[in-house]
Amino acid sequence: MALRAEYPPPANSRPAGSPAAGRGLDWFNLFVANIQTGFGPFIAVYLISQSWTQTSIGLALSIGTVAAMASQVPAGALVDAIPNKTRVAAFSVLAFTGCALMFAVYPIPLFVYLAEVLHGISSCTLGPATAAMSLVIAGRFGMGLRLGRNARYAAIGNGVGALLMGACGQYVSERAVFYLTAAFTLPALVALLPLRRVAIAGRDLQPPPRQPGQGRAQFFRVLADRRLLIFCGCAMLFTFANAPMLTLMSGTMTAKVGNPSLLVAACIVLPQIIVAIASPAMGRLAERRGRRIVLMIGFCMLPLRGLLFATSTNPTLVVAVQALDGIGGACFGIMVPLIVSDVAARSGHFNLSLGFVGFAIGIGGTLSTPTAGWLADHFSMRTAFFFLSAVGIAAVMLVLAAMPETRPKIDADGQ
Amino acid sequence: MTGPCHEGGSRRPIAMSLVFLCALSACHTAPVVDRTPPKAEPPVSAGESPAPPPPLSPEEKPPEHAVEVPIETPAEPPELPPEAPPPKRRPKSRPEPPPAPPAAAPAPAAPDAEVKPLDNSVVTVLGKKVQGPKGEDMGRVVDVLADADGRVRVAVVEFGGFLGVGNRRIAVDWSLLHFNPDDQAKPLTLSVSRKKLQSAPEYKNSIQPQALMAPQAPVPPQAPASPQAPAPPQAPAPSQAPSPSRAPAPLQVPASPQAPAGASTPSAAEGKK
C-alpha cells in the first residue's frame, strides 16, 4: 500500500496486517457505514408509514438510545475480554442483518423494540472491534494513518448509502430501505474474510495476561487517567454542540426552498465528501505534528459553523457551511480512537476506554437535541445557534487549556 | 462503573439487566409526554356514542348485534376510545382513537357505523400518504386532533426532509383533506399548494407537555375556494380568518408564531376548551 511505503512504521510497533487485510478493513468500514445509514432517523419515517403513532415511535427510539448508551461501557469491556475481534465484528454485523430484517419483514412493536435494543448493543461492540482490528493491523505508530483511511472509507459508505437509501425510500418504498440494509451486511461479512487471521497474528500486541488482582487496579487506573477524562469532556461538548446543528438548520430550510429533500441530501452528503478527502491528511498530520493541533482544527469548525448558521439562512451558504462539518467530522472521527489508543492501547483496556468515551459522546448527543429544540422554540433559532456556538467555544477552550498531547514518543515506548 | 470490573462471565448479565432496566424506565417516561392530546378525545366519543347506536340496534337487528351492543353501552364514555382501537393491529397505541374520526365527522359513510358493518368506503388516515392538487407528494398524516365537541379539527402532516432529517410537521385543517377511499393511488388529497404547506409554521408537540395545546391552533393554510367541508360547518370560517395574519409568520423563526397563535386565534380558544 502506498500508505506504508510513504510512512514506514517503526519496527517495534509490529503491525500485523497484510495489504489484503488492510483492504478488507477499508471495505468493511465502507459497508458498515452503508448499513448504519439505514438505522438513523429514517426509522421514524418508516414507522410512520406503518401507521405507528407518535407515542410508539418515540418509545421505540428512546429504547434504542437507552440501549446504546447503557451498553457502551459494558460492550467495551466485553470486546476487551474476547481475543478474536474479527469474530466480534462478524457477530455484530450479523446482528445488524437480524435488525434490518425484523424491521422490514414484521414491524410489530415487539420486534421493533427488540431490533432497537439489538442494534444499540451491537453498534457498541462493533465500534471498538473495528478500532481494535485497526490497531492490530497498523500497529500503534501507524494508527493515525490507518484511522484516516477508516474515516475515508466510512465517509464514502455514508455518502453513498445516504444517496442509495434516500432514492430507495423515495422511489421504491420505505420498507425496501431495510431490505437494502440487510443486503449490505453480506458484503460487509465478506470484507472481513481477509481479517480472519489478524486477531491471532496480533496477539503479541496485547499485554501479557493479567493477574486477577492486578486487573481491577489497572481498570481504575485506565479510567481515571486524566487525559482520558479530559478527552471525554471534550468529546461530550463537541457532540453536544455538533449533533443538533444540521437538524435545526434543515428544519428551517425545508420551509424555504423548492425542493427541500434535495437540499437536505446535499447537506448530508457534502460533509461526507469532505471527510473522504480530508481524513487521510488529518491522520498524517496527527502522526507528524501531534493530536492537539488536529483536535483544535476540528473543534474550531464548530463555533464557526454555529455563528454562520445564526447569521444566515441562505440555502447556498448553508450547504457551503456544511463543508466545515466535514472537516470537523474528519478530525473528530479520527481523534476519538486515536487518542484512546494513545492512552490505553497497551493497558488491555482499549475497548473499555473507547466505550467510556462513547458513553460521554452519547450523553452529549442525547442531551443536546432536546436542549437546542427547546431554545429554538422558546427563544429563537438564532439563540439556539448562538448557544451551540458557545458550547463549541467551551470545547475549544477545554482542548486548549487542559488537553495534553498524547502522541506516543517512539523511544520512550520502545521495549 | 464498578460492575464491569469482575470477570467476563459476570459482566454480561449486569450489562443486560442495565439495558433492560433503562429500557423499562423509558417505558414509563415516554408515553407520559404525549398523553395530552388524546385527553381531548374521551369527550369526543362520549358526545356521540351514547346517542345513536344503542337504542336503534336492539330493535332492528338480529341477535348478533344485540350481542355487540351490550359491550358498548355499559362502558363508560371515557373507556370507549381504548375499545375502539383493538380492531387495529396494535393495542397500545393511545393516540389512535383518531381513527374513530373517519366514522365521526366527514365520513361519506353512514353515521351509525358503530353498529352496522361498515360499507367499505373508509380509509385509514394515520400513516397515509397525502397528495397535493397536482398529485405532488405532501408527506404523510402522523396525527389527528379533535376538539371538545368531538370534531376532528386538524390533521398533522409530516413532509420534506431526507432520510428522516429535516422533516417538517404542519397541522392542517381537517376540511382541507379530501378522502377517496376507492382510489388506491391517491386516497388522501390536500387542497393546498405545496408552497403554502411548506411555509406554514411548524406544529410542535414533542418538546414539552405545556407546548402541546398551543400548536393545536395552527390551522395554517387558508382554504382556497370552498372546501366541500362535509362535517364541521364552522371550520372553514375560522381557518380563513387567521390565515392572512399567519402568512408572514413562517418568515420568522418557528418559535415566535406559537405565542400569537395560541393567544389570538379563535380556533385556538375553541380547541383548548
Tell me the shortest Cα–Cα distance from A119 to chain B, in angstroms. 12
More confident residue, A10 or B187: B187
Report the SS3 class of residue A308. helix
Instruction: For residue B141, list its beta bridge partners.
Output: B157
Measured between its terminal Cα atoms, the distance across chain B in Å is 50
The H or E element that residue B146 is part of is strand B137-146
| Sheet strands side by side (includes B168-173) | B168-173, B152-159, B137-146, B129-131, B188-190, B177-179
Read off the pLDDT band of A95 (50, 70, 90). Answer: very high
B253 touches chain A (CB under 8 A): yes
Contact state of A376 with B160 under an 8 Å Cβ cutoff: no
Contact state of B26 with A52 under an 8 Å Cβ cutoff: no
More confident residue, A109 or B110: A109
Contacts of B179-184 with C-beta under 8 Å, sequence gap 24+, read B179/B102, B179/B106, B179/B108, B179/B123, B180/B123, B181/B108, B181/B120, B181/B121, B181/B122, B181/B123, B182/B121
Contact state of B5 with A219 under an 8 Å Cβ cutoff: yes
Tell me the shortest Cα–Cα distance from B24 to chain A, in angstroms. 8
Kindly identify which residue of chain B lies nearest to residue A269, measuring between CA atoms.
B162
Average pLDDT in the A200-204 region? 50
Asked whether the predicted pLDDT for residue B174 surpasses 70, the reply is yes
pLDDT in tens, A205-248: 554 444 444 556 667 777 778 888 999 999 999 999 998 998 88
Among B166, B126, B188, CA closest to A319: B166
* A73, A265, A377 member nearest B255 (Cβ): A377
Contact state of B12 with A78 under an 8 Å Cβ cutoff: yes
Contact state of B127 with A41 under an 8 Å Cβ cutoff: no
Range of A143-157, B193-207, B239-253 with top mean pLDDT: A143-157
Tell me the shortest Cα–Cα distance from A258 to chain B, in angstroms. 8
Contact state of A75 with B15 under an 8 Å Cβ cutoff: yes
Read off the pLDDT band of B171 (50, 70, 90). Answer: confident
How many helices, marked H, and strands, marked E, lie in chain B? Answer: 12, 6
HSE toward the beta carbon, residue A170, CA cutoff 13 A: 18
The reported pTM is: 0.68
Contact B77, B42 (CB under 8 A): yes
User: What pLDDT is recorded for position B13?
Assistant: 55
Query: Options 1.10.8.60, 3.10.310.30, 1.10.150.120, 1.20.1250.20; which CATH number does A217-415 get?
Result: 1.20.1250.20
> Do the domains A16-205 and A217-415 sit in the same CATH topology, yes or no?
yes
Based on the number of CB atoms within 10 Å of its own CB, is B7 exposed (0-12), middle (13-18) or buried (19 or more)? exposed
* A70, A219, A376 member nearest B253 (Cβ): A376
- Other beta carbons less than 10 A from residue A62's beta carbon: 20
Tell me the shortest Cα–Cα distance from B63 to chain A, in angstroms. 34
More confident residue, B227 or A275: A275
Contacts of B155-161 with C-beta under 8 Å, sequence gap 24+, read B155/B125, B156/B203, B157/B130, B157/B190, B157/B197, B158/A48, B159/B130, B159/B197, B160/A254, B160/A260, B160/A261, B160/A264, B160/B198, B161/A45, B161/A250, B161/A254, B161/A260, B161/A261, B161/A264
* A52, A120, A255 member nearest B199 (Cβ): A255
The H or E element that residue B212 is part of is none
Read off the pLDDT band of A312 (50, 70, 90). Answer: confident
Distances from the Cα of B36 to the Cα of A35, A40, A360, B151, angstroms: 36, 28, 33, 17
Kindly identify which residue of chain A lies nearest to residue B93, measuring between CA atoms.
A53
Report the SS3 class of residue A6. helix
* A53, A254, A267 member nearest B126 (Cβ): A53
Domain ranges of chain A: 16-205, 217-415
Report the SS3 class of residue B81. helix
Written as nine digits, the cell of B1 is 462503573
* A42, A256, A381 member nearest B253 (Cβ): A381
* DSSP code at position B6: S
Residues of A in contact with B168 (CB under 8 A): 251, 254-255, 260
Interface of B with A in 130-169 (CB under 8 A): 140, 142-143, 158, 160-168
pLDDT in tens, A140-185: 788 888 999 999 999 999 999 999 998 988 888 889 999 999 999 9
Written as nine digits, the cell of A238 is 463537541
Contact A96, A102 (CB under 8 A): no
Contact B99, B145 (CB under 8 A): no
Asked whether the predicted pLDDT for residue B31 surpasses 60, the reply is no
Query: What's the rounded Cα separation, in Å, for the pair B254 and B260?
Result: 11
User: What pLDDT is recorded for position A216?
Assistant: 64
Average pLDDT in the A41-45 region? 88
Task: Please list, in sequence order, all residues whose beta carbon lies within 8 angstroms of the beta carbon of residue B28, skipping any fewer than 6 positions away.
Answer: none
* Range of lowest pLDDT (A217-221, B66-70, B209-213): B209-213
Asked whether the predicted pLDDT for residue A186 surpasses 90, the reply is yes
Tell me the shortest Cα–Cα distance from B267 to chain A, in angstroms. 21
User: What pLDDT is recorded for position B160?
Assistant: 76
Contact B137, B131 (CB under 8 A): yes
Asked whether the predicted pLDDT for residue A375 surpasses 70, the reply is yes
Check if CATH label 1.20.1250.20 holds for domain A16-205.
yes
Contact state of A66 with B11 under an 8 Å Cβ cutoff: no
Interface of B with A in 43-72 (CB under 8 A): none
Contact state of A62 with B253 under an 8 Å Cβ cutoff: no
Distances from the Cα of A100 to the Cα of A387, B75, B89, B127, angstroms: 37, 41, 21, 21
User: What pLDDT is recorded for position B109?
Assistant: 54
Tell me the shortest Cα–Cα distance from B216 to chain A, in angstroms. 15
β-strand B152-159 against B137-146: which pairing, if any? antiparallel
Among B254, B215, B172, B141, CA closest to A253: B254
Written as nine digits, the cell of B136 is 405532488
- Other beta carbons less than 10 A from residue B18's beta carbon: 18
Instruction: For residue B155, list its beta bridge partners.
Output: B144, B172
Query: What's the rounded Cα separation, in Å, for the pair B114 and A214?
Result: 71
Asked whether the predicted pLDDT for residue A261 surpasses 50, the reply is yes
User: What pLDDT is recorded for position B19?
Assistant: 55
B248 touches chain A (CB under 8 A): no
The percent of residues above 70 in pLDDT, for chain A, comes to 89
Written as nine digits, the cell of B40 is 381531548
| Sole residue written with cell 451551540 | A388
* B22, B90, B253 member nearest A109 (Cβ): B90
- Rounded to the nearest 5 degrees, what angle is found at the Cα of B252, between the Cα atoms of B249 and B254? 85
Contact A300, A337 (CB under 8 A): no
Instruction: For residue B131, list its beta bridge partners.
Output: B137, B189
* Range of lowest pLDDT (A12-16, A132-136, A312-316, B69-73): B69-73
* Range of lowest pLDDT (A299-303, B43-47, B220-224, B247-251): B247-251
Query: What's the rounded Cα separation, in Å, for the pair B57 and B62?
Result: 8
Query: What's the rounded Cα separation, in Å, for the pair A388 and A17?
Result: 41
pLDDT in tens, A314-371: 888 888 999 999 999 999 989 998 898 888 877 778 888 888 899 999 999 889 988 9
- Give the best residue of B94, B138, B162, B204 to mutate against chain A (max A CB count within 10 A): B162
Q: Give chain B's mean pLDDT.
A: 54
Among B243, B251, B159, CA closest to B203: B159
- Other beta carbons less than 10 A from residue A188's beta carbon: 26
β-strand B137-146 against B129-131: which pairing, if any? antiparallel
- What is the Cα gyration radius of chain B? 22
Tell me the shortest Cα–Cα distance from B226 to chain A, in angstroms. 26
* B25, B158, B256 member nearest A48 (Cβ): B158
